[in-house]
Amino acid sequence: MNLMQDLPQGNIVAPDKDWWRGAVIYQIYPRSFQDSNGDGIGDLAGIIHRLDHIAELGVDAIWISPFFRSPMLDFGYDVSDYRDVDPMFGSLGDFDALINRAHELGLKVLIDLVLSHTSNQHPWFQESASNRDNPKSDWFVWADAKPDGSPPNNWLSIFGGSAWEWSGDRMQYYLHNFLKEQPDLNLHNPDVQDELLSVVRFWLDRGVDGFRLDTINFYFHDPELRDNPALDPAERNATIAPEVNPYNWQNHLYDKNHPANLDFLRRFRALLDEYPAATAVGEVGDAQRGMEIQAEYTSGNDKVHMCYSFEFLSAQPPTAERFVSVLTKYEENIGDGWACWAFSNHDVVRHASRWNLGEEARRLYAALLLSLRGSVCLYQGEELGLTEAYVSFEDLQDPYGIRFWPKFKGRDGCRTPMPWISDNQNGGFSDTKPWLPVAVEHLTRAVGKQIQDEGSLLHFYRRMIGFRQGYPALTKGALEDLAHSDGVLTFVRRHEGQRVFCAFNTTGSAQPITVPEGDWTRDRYAPFEPIETDKGITLPPFQAYFAVEAAADD
């Protein structure tokens, strides 16, 4: 049932179905946002308590990482019940209250759906694994062993080792692209698709405004189970643990990116289109073809609205040349599709540390992110300039890090609790020992401390988000005249009659810039201080320049 169909329509203003295009989305990792009940773990009530902070940033929406029932071996990305909240985070009533409060504050709510796999504790898998002759026997990816008892093929798990796990009950292997406790669903089965879409409808009817889709390109596998070929070592450019994980040695032609996914995404989009303004952003996990898949999955206005890949989540230095290379390829591929850009999230080293950014550089790259063509995801704490936290092996929680320690320390360093105040060892996150320690160096960047300082990075983010939203060209416009010179990145954003010129000095030395021909006026509300003289314009280190065509006021 679509609840919106039962509402009186007479005086309702039609929602903006295009709200997501150019939106700024704030990612919440609920375990680490705010603990409300003293167990050291963040929860939904804690999110409600801190929603004002997010609304005051000026963002359009929040994305909440998984809060469904789960054994928490992968911290909610191993779902055991898609239609309920894990008691660790609260209840469905708490979620309803969160939706209501977010909407009161003008915030859309996206939730993180994990449709490629479940927990092995999910009743679907328990039934499927019990024998080969049950109603759900084909709901997961099962295969016979080779004659020598070895796995069906050479596919590898992202978390290490074979992607196949033996089941003594069925005397078969099952596929798991992640932990062995995260069996992959068989979306080639129409019944599985139907059930997953009913989960989507359940949350839409509950009031969510859309979804972040985890590992969107992992939904389908090659039914012939062909071996993946080796990947040329020169092409091993994975974002996460590239130096220790042999998963990055394969060209993943057959265990993901299957063309059957397109028809399922069309079914998914058709369901979303039944609702007034629902949207979805997909995570494309592919180091080689990410941008092509991003374009493919968002094209034609009949699949997902936007996708993000990992180009700017990597450790590659964020030079002007690098941005031109990525954005040029993006423009060549994207067509009528749409990107969602991010520099940090819950899976990668925070970009302040990954790119070794000083304070001024953090401001510059925030402005750059908020000027790109596409939508934007900000990860909690990014607005505070948080660095990657060191987490000792004794405190480590992430199974990925535990597996590959010490060369790869896992993802806990970007998941430590938000610091709300500076005069408490837990940063105001919890009254008891948190599930991960609060980094001491984060306390000096606490929300309460930065609110009191008009020159803080937090206030910079507020001003820059407001600046972006003041120009349709920056939120929805085309990208033109992309170029770089001596470490300065320049481009023009254009929408209808409006053009905005953007320049970013990514170097540690002053650089001159040249504004394109036309009647341009520097926007003095932009939070930067370029040097303007009769001889021209100079950008100090890590400064930006924004100008608007004077004739483009409409």
Residue 389 and residue 416 in contact, taking contact as beta carbons nearer than 8 Å: yes
Q: Do 291 and 352 have their domain in common?
A: yes
Q: Do 345 and 317 have their domain in common?
A: yes
Q: Do 482 and 451 have their domain in common?
A: no
Indicate if the pLDDT at residue 333 is higher than 50: yes
Place of tokens 């033996």: 166
Please report which confidence band the pLDDT of residue 402 belongs to, taking 50, 70 and 90 as the band edges: very high
For 284, the domain range is 3-9+20-117+190-222+261-467
Burial (CB count <10 Å: 0-12, 13-18, 19+), residue 305 = buried
What CA–CA distance (Å, rounded) separates 34 from 380?
Answer: 11
According to the model, what pLDDT value does residue 7 have? 40
The larger pLDDT score, comparing residue 483 to residue 12, is at: 483
273 is known as an active-site residue: no
Q: What is the CATH number of the domain that holds 543?
A: 2.60.40.1180
**Boundary-marking domain end, from 427, 443, 467:** 467
Indicate whether 515 belongs to any domain. Answer: yes
Domain count, the chain: 2
Catalytic residue, candidates 78, 94, 214, 398: 214
Place of tokens 């028809």: 263
Helix 44-57 vs helix 92-104: crossing angle, to nearest 10: 10
Indicate whether 122 belongs to any domain. Answer: no
Indicate whether 238 belongs to any domain. Answer: no
What CA–CA distance (Å, rounded) separates 406 from 402?
Answer: 8
Q: Do 487 and 461 have their domain in common?
A: no
Digit-coded pLDDT (tens) for 43-73: 999 999 999 999 999 999 999 999 999 999 9
According to the model, what pLDDT value does residue 235 have? 85
Please report which confidence band the pLDDT of residue 1 belongs to, taking 50, 70 and 90 as the band edges: very low
Q: Do 83 and 194 have their domain in common?
A: yes
Q: What is the CATH number of the domain that holds 73?
A: 3.20.20.80
The reported pTM is 0.95
Residue 382 and residue 53 in contact, taking contact as beta carbons nearer than 8 Å: no
Indicate if the pLDDT at residue 442 is higher than 90: yes
- Share the mean pLDDT of the chain: 95
Q: Do 216 and 359 have their domain in common?
A: yes
Indicate if the pLDDT at residue 552 is higher than 70: no
Indicate if the pLDDT at residue 11 is higher than 60: no
Q: Would you call 69 helix, strand, or coil by DSSP?
A: strand
> Among the residues of 62-213, which ranges form H helices?
92-104, 123-130, 190-205
Q: Do 355 and 500 have their domain in common?
A: no
274 is known as an active-site residue: yes
Indicate if the pLDDT at residue 246 is higher than 80: yes
